[in-house]
Structure 1
Amino acid sequence: MTQTDPKKAKLEYNKLQKNLRANVGRAINDYNMIEENDVVMACISGGKDSFAMLDILLSLKASAPIDFEVIAVNLDQKQPGFPEDVLPNYFESINVPYYIIDKDTYSVVKSKIPEGKTTCGLCSRLRRGTLYSFAEKIGATKIALGHHMDDIVETLFLNMFHGANLSAMPPKLRSDDQRNIVIRPLSYCREKDLIRFAEYKEYPIIPCNLCGSQENLQRQAIKGMLSGWEKEQPGRIYNIFKSIQNVSPTQLADTSLYNFSDLQIDRTGDKQEYAFEEEVVSSTSFDDVQYINVVEVN
């Protein structure tokens, strides 16, 4: 049986689809992302991740024990050469309600950011503001973004290396003004699986001409670093992601999360057994002070 055998390809596709669908369902359940009568605004950029997110959300909608709506929304940033007919044709082909927002953020970014500098920061802020405002206009109660596990881990290291803070992109987020809730249904999905899924589905991928060609992006350097780690030790990205779900404030150094200043000794309770607690003291200077039995101290 060859790699191109149709039966084998179908089996692999079914397995991949089932795995992605299960991961999305688990993330939605863990973070209570979607509730009864929610109107989910699925933000579709034209990339593989948002296409897959929309596909899986629609699949879950058909079988979920709760009722919710999914509306596809694309922000047309007026990038030169952007194929404006691709997404409307696709949305109509799968019979999903949709909106196309026309807003020339491309010109704003190009006028504000010097040539050669990264545009992602300003671009994302402009997109976020537009999408937040539009969500209210159409009565959307959740804003779904297509960020996956690799994106979240990359953001963690970007913020550490370049922002000196320990933060990433949470699976569920309430906006600063508390008027919108953002969800990331693909939080438990790996990018490599989404790439394969997109190849099977043959989505009409639209490249981002604004930032996709910027080879000097800090995120690309982080992605390369993590890719190398993953090759050395498969599963490392997953373990890093799990670590941000298992945070111990007492083992970090943020005084706003834990009161280190007022820590006091308390020896009133039962003593725990320490490993290797029976010490052998051979220091010559120790003979000059009163002997203390380190094992029997009360």
Structure 2
Amino acid sequence: IEAGDSVMVCLSGGKDSYTLLDILLNLRRRAPIDFRIVAMNLDQKQPGFPAEILPNYLKSLGVEYHIETQDTYSIVKEKIPEGKTTCSLCSRLRRGIIYKVAGELGANKIALGHHRDDMIETLFLNMFFAGKLKAMPPKLVTDKGDHIVIRPLAYCVEKDIARYARGMEFPIIPCNLCGSQENLQRQNIKEMLANWERQYPGRSQTLFTAMQNVAPSHLLDGNLFDFKNMQFGQEVAEGDIAFDDSVVG
């Protein structure tokens, strides 16, 4: 975040986005720079959604906010057969609306509440189901170049956020659009990672560290490393570990 930024904080009513907004408000009070914060909630017209909770909460804080009402719920229900995963379509619709609203509100940066565990889960989702070595960046420029998306909680652990949210007693709103989500791919990945963490404490942090220590010359993507034109005597930054017995180091 830089001086003069206008940051649109996407607020869903979940623990992550409440924590994000609270931290950014505290940062603005203490930071040596001035920047604008505007909270934005997308009301997707889910049946039973308590539409008054977020406006009342934001008014109590004195925070500038905008509620965008778009009936994406009906679109998702119409397009996706009963029992199938709704997350993908819901996400695409939501993304387009978020970018549009950011432009209307004059925000140059969009803050999302994804945390460390979200990023690790996304890495495995892409590997297992899309054949891609791809996760979530802490910062990116949108496709049209109009906005910068930031994830200030990228280095935060989900359990710490949950503990913080409980302590702050945020008025949490559960997401009911996807039901229990027990059979969804992300939930399966989350459970797999939780099992690993119980069996090997610290593994999640090791995985997160690995995302920051990539050796393109020891993968297979010719777009990231020029295998075709390698020559004798050419040094590689990652070194020669092709025949090392140990995978550590």
Query: Given the two structures, how large is their TM-score scaled by the length of structure 2?
Result: 0.92
Matched, 1:213 2:168: no
Corresponding residue of 2:95: 128
- Contact 2:42–2:70 (CA<8 Å) still a contact in 1? yes
Q: Could you say what secondary structure the match of 1:131 adopts? A: helix
Change (3 A) 1:262 1:116: same
Deviation at 1:264, TM superposition (A): 1.9
Matched, 1:54 2:14: no
Describe the superposition over 1:97-137 as per-residue Cα deviations: whole angstroms up to 9, x where unpaired. Answer: 10000000000000000111100100011000001011011
Corresponding residue of 1:106: 73
Matched, 1:190 2:141: no
Greater mean deviation of Cα atoms: 243-252 or 49-58: 243-252
Q: Could you say what secondary structure the match of 2:129 adopts? A: helix
- Aligned identity (percent) is 61
Q: Could you say what secondary structure the match of 2:122 adopts? A: helix
Q: How does 1:59-74 map to 2 (within 5 A)?
A: 59-74=26-41
Query: Given the two structures, how large is their TM-score scaled by the length of structure 1?
Result: 0.77
Change (3 A) 1:65 1:264: same
Stretches of structure 2 lacking an aligned partner (at least 5 in a row): 242-249
**Structure possessing the higher radius of gyration over alpha carbons:** 1
Q: Could you say what secondary structure the match of 1:222 adopts? A: helix
Deviation at 1:215, TM superposition (A): 1.5
Matched, 1:147 2:150: no
| Count of aligned pairs between the two proteins | 237
Deviation at 1:214, TM superposition (A): 2.3
Matched, 1:82 2:49: yes
In 1, the alpha carbon distance for the partners of 2:98 and 2:163 equals 29
Shift >4 Å, 4+ stretches: none
Match 1:264 to one of 206, 231, 236: 231
Deviation at 1:267, TM superposition (A): 8.5
In 2, the alpha carbon distance for the partners of 1:154 and 1:248 equals 21
In 2, the alpha carbon distance for the partners of 1:211 and 1:151 equals 17
Corresponding residue of 1:160: 127
- Contact 2:122–2:136 (CA<8 Å) still a contact in 1? yes
Describe the superposition over 1:244-278 as per-residue Cα deviations: whole angstroms up to 9, x where unpaired. Answer: 1111111111001111012121299xxx9x9xxxx
Corresponding residue of 1:230: 197
In 1, the alpha carbon distance for the partners of 2:33 and 2:178 equals 38
Q: Could you say what secondary structure the match of 2:36 adopts? A: strand
In 1, the alpha carbon distance for the partners of 2:209 and 2:166 equals 28
Q: Could you say what secondary structure the match of 2:39 adopts? A: strand
Matched, 1:178 2:141: no
The Cα RMSD (Å) is 1.6
Matched, 1:91 2:91: no
Matched, 1:38 2:5: yes
Tell me which amino acid in the other structure corresponds to 1:41. Answer: M
Stretches of structure 1 lacking an aligned partner (at least 5 in a row): 1-33, 275-298
Tell me which amino acid in the other structure corresponds to 1:119. Answer: T
Tell me which amino acid in the other structure corresponds to 2:159. Answer: K
